[in-house]
Amino acid sequence: MPAPKTPLRICVGFSEGTWLGRAPGRVNLIGEHVDYLGGVVLPAAVNRHTEVTGHPAAEWSISSRVKGGLAYIRAMGEELGVEPQSVSVRSNIPSGSGLSSSAALLVAIAAGLKPDMDGAEAALACQRAEQRATGVQVGVMDQFASALGRKGHALLLDCGTLKYRAVPFPGELLIAIIDSGEHRSLAHTPYNERRREAEAGQPNRRRHVVSEIARVHGFVDALDNRDFDRLGRLLKESHVSLRDDFEVSTPHVDALVDKAWAAPGCYGARIMGAGFGGSILALIRRGAEKALAAAVERPIIVCSTADGAFVSPRAGGGAA
């Protein structure tokens, strides 16, 4: 879908009860497949957004082509306890790009219908709505980042306590996302099965979870010390663990990650999000964009960090 060009707030002719919500997509720097186990994660909201407008109606309807859109908006409405709405959606988050367009859609609806809601409560409501709409037992990371991410920062989130803190993200580092082209809907992947295996303490799954949580802490330490080579090493270790211990990568994605690792100016790369195809994330030096695109032989999306939908520009850091 094309990028929203005109801020909708200057539109005229909104009828009584019309609302607008806007929320960003997210990347996850590190901390994969640990959110639903109460682990720590380090996502960031990014500068790609979904905007939803709506107004009360006799029944739920959606006038835009969004995959699974009606199920999402209905589930979100049930979570928020609101009457049916007719909604339309605009987004510059490519669906299936790994930037969590579904979390952005849900958070945008929550922000539009309940702007005064607490951001963490909104994220939890969005998580429940996503679980209900898809049957996938997702964690809260994506929705939390979309709601409470901070521009210039990553968000260190403890998914067990929901305590979080904004961690400064260095301006010299660029976040690049590369779509592997292997698309899948999570409902058709072993996501729930992996979750069950990890909860049951299956040794390889457990080893990934324990080592990944240690890597999140190491990553924050390396960010604090501006040790970019260490960031890269941790991304590579995360990929190997997701590939071998959690088994959520694919040969095609592994090959893409290998190519990214070899690109000049790339500190490291790994599979991002749920996996089973999807996208990879690479951290690169500013100016290394073309070299990365040439190395992976695919288009890259370069993102910068952004504020979440429930963050006011004047807000301070999150709860410590």
Residues that bind ligand GLA (CB under 6 A): 32-33, 35-36, 138-139, 141-142, 273-274
Cβ nearer to ligand GLA, comparing 112 with 139: 139
Tell me the closest approach of the beta carbon of residue 103 to ligand GLA, in angstroms: 7
Cβ nearer to ligand GLA, comparing 26 with 295: 26
Catalytic residue among 35, 116, 118, 142: 142
Tell me the closest approach of the beta carbon of residue 296 to ligand GLA, in angstroms: 21
Cβ nearer to ligand GLA, comparing 36 with 72: 36
Note whether 134 and 123 are within 8 A (CB): no
Q: Tell me the CB-side half-sphere exposure of residue 58, using CA atoms within 13 A.
A: 0
- Strand-pair partners of 51: 22, 90
Cβ nearer to ligand GLA, comparing 42 with 260: 42
Cβ nearer to ligand GLA, comparing 54 with 278: 278
Tell me the closest approach of the beta carbon of residue 7 to ligand GLA, in angstroms: 29
Tell me the closest approach of the beta carbon of residue 145 to ligand GLA, in angstroms: 10
Cβ nearer to ligand GLA, comparing 37 with 82: 37
Tell me the closest approach of the beta carbon of residue 187 to ligand GLA, in angstroms: 12
248: left (phi over 0), alpha (psi -120 to 50) or beta: alpha
Respond yes or no: is residue 142 known to be catalytic: yes
Tell me the closest approach of the beta carbon of residue 266 to ligand GLA, in angstroms: 22
Q: Tell me the CB-side half-sphere exposure of residue 27, using CA atoms within 13 A.
A: 29
Label the pairing between strands 61-62 and 85-91: parallel
- Strand-pair partners of 302: 176
- Catalytic residues, by residue number, are 142
